[in-house]
């Protein structure tokens, strides 16, 4: 699990803002962890209804086509 994933899961705005660009530069923006049902930072931010983080992740080209263990995309997770 990346620090960005934790920040998005826990809705830690300052931490997520600090980590997004560095995570992208490290090539880890779209990391998915099997222990977390293959969810990405975008999955976590979207599930939490965190629109500003979702927007920033999308502006950094987060992969919207990624599916989790249950074949759900980041935007299929909302309000669950």
pTM for the model stands at 0.90
Q: Is the residue at 80 inside a domain?
A: no
45, burial (CB in 10 Å: exposed 0-12, middle 13-18, buried 19+): buried
Mean pLDDT of the chain: 92
Q: Is residue 20 part of a domain?
A: yes
Q: What is the pLDDT of residue 35?
A: 78
Segments forming the whole domain that contains residue 46: 3-75
Total domain count, the chain: 1
Asked whether the beta carbons of 39 and 33 are under 8 A apart, the reply is: yes
Which CATH number fits the domain that encloses residue 30? Answer: 1.25.40.20
pLDDT in tens, 34-72: 877 999 999 999 999 999 999 999 999 999 999 999 999
């Amino acid at each position: 699990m990346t620090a960005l994933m934790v920040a998005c899961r826990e809705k830690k705005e300052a931490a997520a803002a600090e980590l997004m660009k560095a995570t992208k530069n490290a090539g880890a923006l779209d990391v998915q962890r099997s222990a977390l049902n293959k969810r990405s930072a975008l999955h976590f931010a979207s599930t939490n209804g965190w629109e500003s983080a979702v927007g920033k992740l999308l502006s950094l080209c987060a992969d919207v086509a990624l599916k989790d263990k249950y074949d759900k995309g980041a935007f299929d997770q909302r309000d669950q």
